Chain A
Amino acid sequence: MSIKVENLSYVYMQGTPFETVAVDNVSFEINQGEFVAVIGHTGSGKSTLIQQLNGLLIPTSGRVEVDGYEISTSKKDLKEIRSKVGLVFQYPEYQLFEETVAKDVAFGPKNQGVSEEETNIRVKEAITDMGLDYDEVAEMSPFELSGGQKRRVAIAGVLAMNPDIIVFDEPTAGLDPRGRELLFECIEEVRKKGKTIILVSHSMDDVARLADRILVMSEGKLIFQGTPAEVFSEQNVKLELNAPQLALLARKLNKTGKFNIPNGVFDVEGMKNVILKELGGKN
């Protein structure tokens, strides 16, 4: 289940005075089971890029291939691709509309033509996977839930379609720190089930910690791609990214001359061990 993107470009409102080149000649590949993060400033074309991965936007030029299916205007292929690639939009909670949480989550599987039984199983699993208590929320109205819960219900709606690839567009925007943490835990759980994850996020600490690979977008172009260690290495300061806190800490400590912390340590526990080892070695 891989995604192959070649020379992809997307132009909004082509041929009008408002023409915008949102994605400009981008190429990359994403392999089965990979966790890829997409970062870049607002307006750099991240959302436009990922909406082309399941054919919600049809490329202006270039190719997108998902598991051998090429994105084109063919309705049958699009349906197939949308079942394979689940897309969680920014602020997905505003898209809830059914009377009950369970019904809302079942919207996707029903459109796919999944049987009633199978739908119920999937709905229950998806709600549980998102860290919610199925028995408690299933019959509630989505509008009674808190913001963070609503969002997780909306994400469950995408998970219930059982896609192989899940794309999240800034899933933690507007959540409190606790909600953000919970959501990332859920995403990690989903990942452990073997799903490919594509995550658009401004939260550099989490991106560095979670992703296998990072794509950096700027003004529609893919300006860099590599492992978190490569992306946030000191040589890449020119990309003008907000480096994760731990990378900044490592840089500051190394500058004192007393430390030599290697690049690419992005979790607190790991950083603690590295620092202790460095200190131990000196004492």
Chain B
Amino acid sequence: MFKDVTFGQYYPSDSVVHRMDPRFKLVIAFAFIIVLFMINSFAGYITAGLFVFVCVAAAKVPVKLLFKNIKPLWFILLFMFVINVFFTRSGNVLFSFWILKITDEGLIKAVLMLIRIVMLIFFTGLLTLTTTPISLTVGIESLLSPLKKIKFPAHELAMMMTIALRFIPTLMEETDKIMKAQMARGASFDTGNLYQKAKSMIPLLITLFVSAFRRADELALAMTARCYNGGEGRTRMNPLKVSGVDYAGAVMTVLFIAAMIMFNYVHVI
């Protein structure tokens, strides 16, 4: 049933990008997204494309997986493309029909917009493909920790995320098991009308709730038994370590951003 659903989309591999500190990856991804929306020259697009290409190549993830992220968004992409094509009125008219006019400027704008969005999806996809959900959480906690001074519950938030992530596969497995057990007793989840299907879910949901509460209870007990009392003074088993690849990535990103800013003022092409 759920056997083919892998949660998150981490792609295990041993590349420099996989080995990077999650904080650096988060900050770089954030910076890239901002820069991406400031591009206003062809040189800028080419450089950004090159940057994405270098990152993807360094991460050693199959490009197929990156394209997979685009699939569910094709309708939105198409919609944005059409809007850009038809609602740009400036430039030379290439084609006109009734009240619709397609101009060269509109077409270029639409294509560039598409490229921008695709690069955005690629880059954020790269982040989740090369970083496990848990280390992303650790990274977010660490980046948010300065906010603890203003009583922002960074640790609690991260702990909740970690536990939720930890239990998603467990609950999926449990759902699978219970569905199988009920199917073995003659239940069917995929036949009948909508009402019958909804009704057949009730036994499943009851059982799942009971077990989720039981697990939560056991986990709370186990954590208390091991002296958990919040984030105060808690150390990490695998502390985040900044290494050479992180500095290299940071330097590359700074150079990239500098180039992008330069292209915005000095028009090369």
The residues of A with any CB-CB pair to B shorter than 8 Å are: 12-13, 16-18, 51, 54, 56, 75, 79, 82-83, 86-87, 89, 92, 94-98, 107-108, 110-112, 143, 157-158, 161
Contacts and interface: CB of A to CB of B under 8 A. Distances in A.
A110 B199 CA distance: 14
23 contacts: A13-B4, A13-B6, A16-B6, A18-B6, A51-B180, A56-B183, A75-B191, A87-B184, A89-B177, A94-B178, A95-B182, A96-B207, A97-B206, A107-B182, A107-B185, A107-B203, A110-B186, A111-B185, A111-B186, A111-B187, A143-B210, A161-B185, A161-B186
B211 interface: yes
B12 interface: yes
Contact of B186 (A16, A56, A82): A82
B3 A97 contact: no
B256 interface: no
Nearest to B13: A17
Nearest to B186: A111
B206 A107 contact: no
Contacts of B178: 94-95
B181 interface: yes
Contact of A17 (B12, B188, B203): B12
Contacts of B174: 94
B24 interface: no
B180 to A, nearest CB: 5
A108 B186 CA distance: 6
Which 5 pairs of residues, A with B, have the shortest CB-CB distance?
A: A111-B186, A108-B185, A87-B184, A97-B206, A95-B181
Nearest to A110: B186
A89 B207 contact: no
B11 interface: yes
Contacts of A108: 185-186
A157 B186 contact: no
B218 to A, nearest CB: 13
A17 B207 CA distance: 32
A83 B186 contact: yes
Contacts of A89: 177, 180-181, 184
A79 B177 CA distance: 18
Contacts of A112: 186
Contacts of A157: 185
A56 B184 contact: yes
Interface string B169-208: 0000010011011111111100100000000000100110
A110 B191 CA distance: 16
Contacts of B207: 94-97
A83 B187 CA distance: 11
Contacts of B210: 94, 97, 143
A87 B183 CA distance: 10
A166 to B, nearest CB: 11
Most buried by A among B3, B181, B187: B181
A97 B186 contact: no
B147 to A, nearest CB: 36
A86 B211 CA distance: 24
B152 to A, nearest CB: 37
Interface in B208-249: 210-211
A266 to B, nearest CB: 30
A12 B211 CA distance: 25
Interface string B39-51: 0000000000000
A164 to B, nearest CB: 14
